A and B are shown apart, each in its own frame.
Chain A
Amino acid sequence: MSSPGHGRWIIVATLCVAMLLMILPMPEWARPFRPQWVTLTLIYWAIALPHRVGVGSGFIAGIVLDVLTGTLLGQHSLGLTIVVFIAIQLHQRIRVFPFWQQSLGVLVLLVIEHLLALWVSGATHGTTPGLNYWAVPLIGALLWPWIFVTLRKTRRHFKVS
């Protein structure tokens, strides 16, 4: 078994990769469809290791994401805090679900995060995004099984617990 400090770096590293994916340039048509990588990663860690990744981690990750994407400070952290909280509350149930059921649960979490972000941006600068705004959580939910498997492999490989 490794030291407790060891696992933290793996979690931070996966989050960094997720953040990188959030700002990586994409073609213009694909930009509105970028999945919520950071949210997905955080949900995984909250379900897998609820004693290590908590609401505080969600908050900090959200702030960093806000700075990174130039949104209002707190817009992402509000959503991520709430999503991580719900994920931790339900982690024992979600863990035993089959993949497709997990994806549905994750879809709900992603929609909540997205809705909160929409409220905040709507209240502050009034751009109303089109219907494809809601494709983002759907894409995220479709990606969930792969993210889950990848992160579980990573976690087991580095023996993070």
Chain B
Amino acid sequence: MLLLDHRYHHLQQLRSALAFLTYPLYYLADLPFTASRWLEETTDSRESLQDKNTELRRHNLRLRAELQKFEALQAENMRLRDLVGSSFKVGDRVLIAELSSVDLDPYKQQVVINKGSASGAFEGQPVLDAQAVMGQVTSVTPFSSTVLLITDTSHALPVRVLRSGLRTIAVGTGRIDELRLPYLPTNSDIREGDRLVTSGLGGKFPRDYPVGKVTRIDRSPDAPFSNVLAQPHAHLDRSREVLLVWTVPNQLPNPALLDQPVTPADDAASEPLTTANEGEGDSAPAASPTPPTAGEPAT
């Protein structure tokens, strides 16, 4: 049975069915925290709410200004790509999900989020937070799904070094703040401080989302590969809200499902980044990919 699950993933259906049954337990475990947050929000004073509102407004304005620039760049980019005849399209859809306050096995890097197949989530779906790539969905139930973080030892992520365009693979180390790039020859063009973005190879993750920063490089002359460590940008242990991303059009859920949880009324206060993107409508590709450069000022 262990072997079946590990090697062939035949038991995925059984797991999903059981996970559906255990959802009440997740809900119960999360309940005290949801309740306390709700209480905190409803008893928030008028002044602090106003303060928060003004601050968010200002933040939103700044993001919009950046977005204008980005839109112009995007349009230019598409035009240039048309000129060289490339069929690449920018544009993904996103949905905000929240982490459940649930602890899983402490030796695996996994989290549970509160959106499942009822909201259109699917296995292998990329998950981001406001900063960078977080991980991918590994199992879905109607109302919750499990996300494997990029730092888990069983996770590998195709990345690209932004400065040199060098492609490689980032493997999790099992520590929440560390990634390893094990397949780089000693003479490869990489420096400390280099930024890593997803390369889009492998087909699971959309390209050009920020991943992390190279923190340490050990080059020993007798080893074929250098030992490169990187730090993920995403706040893997702190983020409360995450974004589920749809990149391929045929994976998109019913638009009604998508728009409902991210209507401005619902989330304008909590996530200015997405509401700005969601206003675009269905036909035009929404401009949601945070360009690698815009990832930082947004924080």
Interface residues of A (CB under 8 A from B): 16, 19-20, 22-26, 28, 31-32, 34, 63-64, 67-75, 77-78, 120-121, 124-127, 129
The answer on a CB contact under 8 Å between B103 and A121 is: no
Task: Note all chain A residues with C-beta closer than 8 A to B19.
Answer: 67
Task: Note all chain B residues with C-beta closer than 8 A to A16.
Answer: 25
Give the CA-CA distance A125 to B33 in the complex, in Å: 32
CB distance from B125 to the nearest CB of A (A): 16
Among B1-9, B194-202, B224-232, which stretch is in contact with chain A? B1-9
Give the CA-CA distance A73 to B107 in the complex, in Å: 15
Task: Note all chain A residues with C-beta closer than 8 A to B207.
Answer: none
Give the CA-CA distance A78 to B101 in the complex, in Å: 27
Q: Give the total number of A-B pairs whose CB atoms are below 8 A apart.
A: 82
Task: Note all chain A residues with C-beta closer than 8 A to B102.
Answer: 23-25
B15 at the binding interface (Cβ < 8 Å) = yes
B164 at the binding interface (Cβ < 8 Å) = no
CB distance from B33 to the nearest CB of A (A): 7
Task: Note all chain A residues with C-beta closer than 8 A to B105.
Answer: 69-71
Residue from B22, B107, B108 within 8 A of A67 (CB atoms): B22
Give the CA-CA distance A77 to B11 in the complex, in Å: 15
Give the contacts of B214-264 with A (CB-CB under 8 A). 237
The answer on a CB contact under 8 Å between A124 and B6 is: yes
The residue of chain A having its C-beta at the shortest distance from the C-beta of B147 within the complex is A70
The answer on a CB contact under 8 Å between B146 and A70 is: yes
Interface centre among A19, A22, A72 (most CB of B within 10 A): A72
Task: Note all chain A residues with C-beta closer than 8 A to B28.
Answer: 20
CB distance from B147 to the nearest CB of A (A): 10
Residue from A23, A71, A75 within 8 A of B29 (CB atoms): A23
Residue from B18, B22, B153, B237 within 8 A of A126 (CB atoms): B153
Give the CA-CA distance A120 to B18 in the complex, in Å: 21
Task: Note all chain B residues with C-beta closer than 8 A to A26.
Answer: 103
The answer on a CB contact under 8 Å between A19 and B153 is: no
Residue from B101, B138, B146, B154 within 8 A of A25 (CB atoms): B101
Give the CA-CA distance A34 to B104 in the complex, in Å: 11
Main secondary structure of the interface of B (DSSP, over half): mixed
Residue from B1, B11, B25, B101 within 8 A of A68 (CB atoms): B25
CB distance from A143 to the nearest CB of B (A): 18
Interface residues of B (CB under 8 A from A): 1-2, 4-6, 11, 14-15, 18-19, 21-22, 25-26, 28-29, 33, 101-108, 110, 138-139, 146, 152-154, 174, 237
Task: Note all chain B residues with C-beta closer than 8 A to A125.
Answer: 108, 152-154
The answer on a CB contact under 8 Å between A20 and B25 is: yes
The answer on a CB contact under 8 Å between B26 and A64 is: no
Could you write out 24 A-B pairs with CB less than 8 Å apart? A16-B25, A19-B22, A22-B103, A23-B104, A28-B237, A34-B106, A64-B18, A64-B22, A70-B104, A70-B108, A70-B139, A70-B146, A71-B104, A71-B108, A73-B1, A73-B2, A73-B11, A73-B15, A77-B1, A124-B2, A124-B6, A125-B108, A126-B153, A127-B174
Give the CA-CA distance A64 to B15 in the complex, in Å: 9
Task: Note all chain A residues with C-beta closer than 8 A to B22.
Answer: 19, 64, 67-68
Extra inter-chain contacts (15) besides given A23-B102, A23-B103, A24-B103, CB under 8 Å: A19-B22, A19-B25, A20-B28, A20-B29, A26-B103, A64-B18, A67-B15, A67-B18, A68-B26, A69-B105, A73-B2, A125-B152, A125-B153, A127-B108, A127-B153
The answer on a CB contact under 8 Å between B33 and A25 is: yes
CB distance from B3 to the nearest CB of A (A): 9
CB distance from B76 to the nearest CB of A (A): 44
The answer on a CB contact under 8 Å between A31 and B103 is: yes
Give the CA-CA distance A127 to B154 in the complex, in Å: 10
